[in-house]
Structure 1
């Protein structure tokens, strides 16, 4: 081949340009509570005395501020006025009598299965490849459910994502204080 034919062949075989495919948008959950109401609820929950009730999938969700220890408080989420200790477990070990809404309304806490110091020691002794083979859950995490929230903003952020959540009792609904 001469130079003229090789240069034309090289010019005609251009790599195909890949176009980005737009991801389908997930629709935002339809909330029965307005943005202004969420701001009022959050400021109310940030206060000292909290007594707010929601309705969600046929259950009553009751949020109260309680003492965690001598100096700190937290927001407790009751489902049908109950918090059972058996429900505070790993998500995969949730009892059958537990309401199905618990993963939606309670906070998820995580902890590493192995501490970082232990991971580095295992990887130093075994090497990274063999450590991954011998300890498949070396970088795994344990996830469990907890009915306590440290801040009102965290609780509101999680509750805003719930579709069909309705506010049934709060001080921001009325101008008079809420008791009981």
Structure 2
């Protein structure tokens, strides 16, 4: 993922296999710390230092935006998309669309977020629907509802013990030796 054309704001892009990662956005105006569970952004707001810590689950997903670089080339930007555009983090900018596809799938898998496509009007569309798991009421474990009043089937063959004292053999000691 760190090819000659893979860049984020002038730097090489963070590698998802080497998290946590630290990099700068906006020509050094914002520093980002990124790991698999949270994002920490440090920037200045009206001259005051500001640190934002967000869980990765606060983001909508991993989005790809296809751009026309010039008349003959297309490029892609992979970004961690947030509802607030100021908190959207670009992860990869590349001219290689195969590399962008692999990175898009990889970042989505790393964060556990859906893959999104950023339309030309700026809206986001989910590419693959997440499978929904439906749960039902568990089935009863026993087939017979009267089983609570009876002994289980394997205990029916056993005889009940007696309450008289056990016989004791006196005078001879039995020792097992090998």
TM more than 0.5: no
TM-score range normalised by the length of the shorter chain: under 0.3
- More strand per residue: 1 or 2? 2
Task: Name the TM-score, length of structure 1 as normaliser.
Answer: 0.22
- More helix per residue: 1 or 2? 1
Higher-RCO chain (CA-CA 8 Å, sequence separation at least 6): 1
The structure with the largest alpha-carbon Rg is: 2
